[in-house]
Each structure stands twice: as C-alpha cells, then as structure tokens.
C-alpha cells in the first residue's frame, strides 16, 4: 500500500512492539508509526541485552574467549567457536588433525539443524500455529541430545578449541547420529503435510516481505535471507574452510525472496546438512582430535581474520595481536545485524500482521547483535 505523507495526522499513532511482545525474537524493541493497520515507519531499538563480548575478549587470555563464543548465538553457537578457532590456528600456524576437522563439521551441522528446527517452530507460532513447534522440538531434542553427549553442554556447546575439539566420539555416538539422520529424513513428509502444503500458511507467507537481491546486498544480508532472494552465497562453498571443500552438497535458493521462500530454503538446508553429516561419518578417519597447542597463546603481532557460515549467515572474526597473551582488539561481524537492518525499508506500507510474519522469517537472534 502506498500511503501519502499528507494523510491526516489524526489517524496516525505510535506503537511499541516489544521489548516483551510475544511476537518479537529476543529483547527487540520496535517503535512503529502506524496509519491504521499499516506501517509508516520503523525504528529498531537494541541494547537491552548487551554483554560486551568483544571488550571481554580484550581483557582475558586468547584461549579464555572460547567460553564466550557459543553464547553469542545461543541457537547455533558452534560455528562461532569454529570461526574463532580458525583465527587462532591461522595466527599460530596450527595444523588440525583430520578427525577433528570431521567432528567439527558433524557438530556444526547438527547445530545448524537444531537451530533451523527451533526457527521453524517459533516462526509458525508467530503466525498463530501451535502444533508445528511440538514436532520441531521433538526432532530438535534428538539433535541436542547428541550434541550434549559430544560437548558436555545442552545449549551453549563449548566444543571447539585451538587445534581441534575438546573430545572424541565413540562408535555408539556414530550410530546415534546415523539413527537421527534416518529419523529426520522420515519426518519431512510430516512437515510437508503440516506446514509446507498448508493453504493457510502459504497464504500468510507467499508474496509477503519480498526482499530483492539488490535490497539484500545493499544492507549486507546474508545466509538463508540472502539465498532466498536467489543469491548463491554460502561461505562453505564460495570460500571453503575446515574441510568443507571436500563435501558434495547443494546451496538451496529461492526465487521470490518472500517469507515462503525463506522457509523453503531453511527446510532444504536441513536436508543438505544431513547429507554433509552422513558424508563426514562415512569418511571419519582415526587419529587424535587435537593438535599440540602451547599452554599460553601469544600470536605474533598483526591482524587475523576468519569467516564461516552460521545458521543465520556470514560470521567473521577479526583480531589484532600485539604479541601478548591477551587480544589487543577483537571484532565480530554477525549475520543478524545486516538482516535486521533492512526491516525498516522492507516493511514500510505493510500491514502489521505481515510485519510479524516478515520479522519472524528473518530468524533473528538478538543477543548476536547485542554482544
């Protein structure tokens, strides 16, 4: 809808969406200017959960920051730990054992699946459908059980470390992962009947919140949000890291860039993650899971960076070392900030109900921004 600026101010109102509204994700506050049911403008207000991760890193030894990495994106923290480990390994010229490379990929893709399932359930709940989240959490619990066994933690998994991973897995765990793969593949038919082909869901999401490739690029959107707009950019393929270049998998793309495409892309990514895990288990080598690393880490002076593909998109860690045991500077580029930034332009003139659908389709983890 096109709304003239000359519309009577008597019909305008300001609406606070959040920070505790049930349809917001994390502690996000949106200040809306409304004309009836239509959105005239949006101002995003952040900072309610700021935890100063980057400044914390500059006050502690390099290796101590690994405990922070999974807490930046609590829904999919393993890629953050992977990214920080890659940075230190580049700085210290550490060669990671092959078995550790495979276990990093297995754990990261399990974490990606768990994150996408969490998003599907929450997204449908935003739209008023309660039943799907029960199925999503049933499946997600299976992945989280395995990750808890591998990492020792159920949500914020402290598994990555400089030179490899903190622990190995046994044959029983491998069998559990293979059983999860078979189970998850059998569940897609349920999601297709319950969600994908549900006429109410399709009508609520088709043609809603259309993000063009130009708009996505202009605001630095990444991950499924960018790929749903038809842009084939996945760090695992365009700049392979940690052994991903050896795996065969597709990069799902959308055609319209709407809420429905963002759902379809994430569901297709779950299938691809299952294929990657299966390949990793098929070729899982023996050997150690961690290289020899100095007890005290002090990278040579200089700048170092690394990038990975998280569940929400492109994650980059950039650090400056002055040769000491404490980082001089650490900066994290998360995916959610770019994805959130396009919301004001995207939703201008949109119905409030469609704003809720669009906001949910972005898969925002606000603590990743408030870091």
Q: How confident is the model at residue 8 (pLDDT cuts 50, 70, 90)?
A: low
What are the tokens at 265?
A: 């892309």
- Asked which of 26-35, 101-110, 131-140, 248-257 is least confident by mean pLDDT, the reply is 26-35
Cite the beta strand spans of 120-172 per DSSP E: 160-161, 164-165
* Residue 4 vs residue 237, higher pLDDT: 237
| pLDDT at residue 6 is higher than 60 | no
**pLDDT, tens only, 266-296:** 999 999 999 999 999 999 999 999 999 998 9
- Residue 9 banded pLDDT, cuts 50, 70, 90: low
Determine the pLDDT at residue 24.
Answer: 61
The whole-angstrom distance between residue 347's C-alpha and the CA centroid of its chain comes to 22
What is the model's pLDDT at position 10? Answer: 61
Mean pLDDT of the region 180-201: 97
Angle CA 159–84–157, to nearest 5: 25
Per-residue model confidence as pLDDT tens digits over 216-244 = 999 999 999 999 999 999 999 999 999 99
Region 299-327 average pLDDT: 97
Domain spans of the chain, in order of start: 9-369
Q: What percent of the chain has pLDDT over 70?
A: 95
Q: Is the pLDDT of residue 1 over 60?
A: no
| Cα angle value 196/199/202 (rounded, 5°) | 60
Residue 22: per-residue pLDDT: 55
Each residue of 80-125: pLDDT tens digit? 999 999 999 999 999 999 999 999 999 999 999 999 999 999 999 9
Degrees to nearest 5, angle at CA 216 with 210 and 221: 120
Predicted confidence band of residue 4 (pLDDT cuts 50, 70, 90): low
pLDDT of residue 347: 92
**Residue 51: per-residue pLDDT:** 82
Instruction: Give the number of other CB atoms < 10 A from CB of residue 105.
Output: 23
Integer Cα distance of 81 and 164 in angstroms: 11
**Residue 95 pLDDT:** 96
Q: Residue 11: which pLDDT band, with cuts at 50, 70 and 90?
A: confident
State pLDDT tens for residues 21-56. 655 667 888 999 999 999 999 999 988 878 889 999
pLDDT of res. 48: 81
What is the rounded average pLDDT for all residues in the chain? 93
Q: Any idea which architecture 9-369 has in CATH?
A: Orthogonal Bundle (1.10)
Cα angle 232, 228, 110 (rounded to 5 degrees) comes to: 80
Which of 70-74, 79-83, 102-106, 305-309 is the least confident region?
70-74
Indicate whether 3 pLDDT > 60.
Answer: no
CB atoms within 10 A of CB 303: 11
For the ranges 8-12, 255-259, 320-324, 357-361, the lowest mean pLDDT is seen at 8-12
Residues 94, 114: Cα–Cα separation, whole Å: 30
How large is the angle between the packed helices 171-191 and 131-151, nearest 10 degrees?
170
Q: How far apart are CA 198 and CA 135, in angstroms?
A: 15
CB 248 within 8 A of CB 322: no
């Amino acid at each position: 809808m096109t709304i003239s600026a000359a519309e009577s101010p008597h019909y305008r109102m300001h609406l606070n969406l959040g920070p505790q509204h049930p349809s917001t994700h994390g502690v996000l506050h949106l200040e809306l200017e409304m004309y009836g049911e239509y959105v005239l403008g949006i101002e995003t207000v952040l900072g309610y959960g700021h935890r100063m991760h980057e400044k914390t890193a500059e006050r502690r030894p390099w290796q101590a920051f690994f405990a922070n990495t999974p807490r930046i994106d609590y829904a999919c923290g393993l890629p953050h730990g992977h990214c920080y480990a890659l940075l230190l390994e580049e700085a210290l010229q550490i060669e990671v054992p092959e078995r550790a490379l495979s276990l990093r990929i297995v754990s990261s893709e399990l974490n990606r699946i768990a994150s996408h399932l969490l998003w599907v359930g929450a997204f449908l709940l935003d739209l008023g459908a309660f039943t799907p989240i029960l199925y999503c959490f049933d499946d997600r619990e299976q992945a989280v059980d395995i990750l808890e066994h591998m990492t020792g933690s159920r949500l914020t998994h402290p598994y990555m470390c400089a030179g490899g991973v903190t622990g190995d897995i046994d044959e029983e765990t491998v069998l559990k992962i293979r059983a999860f793969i078979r189970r998850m593949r059998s569940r897609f038919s349920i999601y297709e009947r319950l969600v994908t082909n549900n006429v109410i869901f399709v009508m609520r999401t088709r043609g809603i919140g259309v993000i063009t490739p130009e708009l996505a690029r202009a605001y630095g959107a990444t991950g499924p949000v960018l790929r749903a707009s038809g842009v084939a950019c996945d760090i695992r393929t365009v700049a392979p890291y940690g052994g991903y270049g050896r795996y065969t998998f597709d990069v799902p793309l959308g055609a319209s860039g709407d809420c429905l495409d963002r759902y379809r892309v994430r569901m297709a990514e779950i299938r691809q993650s299952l294929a990657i895990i299966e390949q990793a288990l098929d070729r899982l080598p023996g050997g150690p899971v961690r290289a020899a690393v100095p007890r005290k880490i002090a990278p040579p002076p200089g700048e170092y960076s690394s990038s990975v593909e998280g569940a929400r998109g492109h994650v980059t860690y950039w650090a400056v070392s002055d040769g000491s045991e404490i980082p001089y500077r650490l900066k994290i580029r998360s995916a959610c900030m770019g994805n959130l930034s396009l919301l004001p332009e995207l939703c201008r003139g949109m119905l409030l109900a469609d704003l809720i659908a669009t906001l949910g389709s972005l898969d925002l983890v606000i603590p990743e921004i408030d870091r």
